[in-house]
Amino acid sequence: MRVYISVDMEGIAGIDHPAPTSLEDPGYREAVDLMVGETNAAIAGAVEGGATEILVNDSHGQMHNLRPADLDPRAYVIRGQKPWSMVAGAEPLAPGDGPRHDVALFVGYHARAGHPTGVLAHTMAGVAIETRIGGRPTGEYGFNALVLGAWGIPVGMVAGDDALAAEVAEQLPWTERVVVKRAIGTNAAASMHPERARAAIRAGAAMAVRRAAAGELQPFSVASPVRIEIDFRRGIEADLAALVPAIARLDDRSVAIEEADPVDAFRLFRVAILLAGIAA
């Protein structure tokens, strides 16, 4: 069983404020330690579930948070800024190739931009106030699941707060949901002790890999054409995103993408967010 693990930071137990998620903050090192702990728990659980190959993708911020020497040596880790972002390393090596992994696990994930209580809720970057797939408000878990699904890879586990778990239950109902903290508000949470959180993730990862081996999971897909809508904070951000001909302006600060191929839709979504992010 080939397992892919995408690791973010905002959904990690013990992290409840944006400050320590930044490299410059004095609490950043402690936040990374918590991130490493949950990553290693997922690796250990994947091995227990039957994993024979594990790739970890550091998926937070500039994506060079995880210290390789601190990670379980049974896994490879990919770090740094990558075109495929939070799903880098899962893309096919050549057109027509089959899936590179049998199941994906999401650790440290969070609720979507615009969620009323989700801890540190956002989608990809602070420029979006809401993002939708097929009219449904959706966060990073959904966009990443969409492109992984197009590559034939199901999402077997998502770990984060209870707000995220409720979202995932609606959109990816076959997925194991591990709740490591209860959302109190955007910058507040009631977290499990790190040891309890890691034990829960380890168990969830093992179950997800076993269920993938048993054929109980399915890749996420939506009806074609895939329609993605993004509401930005400001008109200038929508102006910049809509410079791409395939990205249509909807109103004063929103754009839409409609593509038959979910991978192309995801590419355009990434471009829209990146372009909007350069606005002064």
Q: Which residues are catalytic?
A: 122
**H-assigned helices in the chain:** 28-49, 140-150, 162-171, 194-213, 235-241, 262-276
User: Which residue do the tokens 């995408």 mark?
Assistant: 6
- Burial of residue 16 (CB within 10 Å: 0-12, 13-18, 19+) is buried
Residue 111: which of 140, 82, 74 has the closest Cα?
140
Residue 5: which of 102, 107, 79, 93 has the closest Cα?
107
Q: Which phi and psi (to 5°) does residue 61 adopt?
A: 55, -125
Buried b (16+ CB within 10 A) or exposed e, 132-162: bbeeebbbbbbbbbbbbbbbebbbbbbbbbb
Cα dist from 280 to 205, 210, 230, 253, whole Å: 41, 48, 19, 15
Residue 4: which of 52, 57, 80, 72 has the closest Cα?
57
**Coil, strand or helix at 86:** helix
- Kindly state the tokens that stand for 58: 């550091």
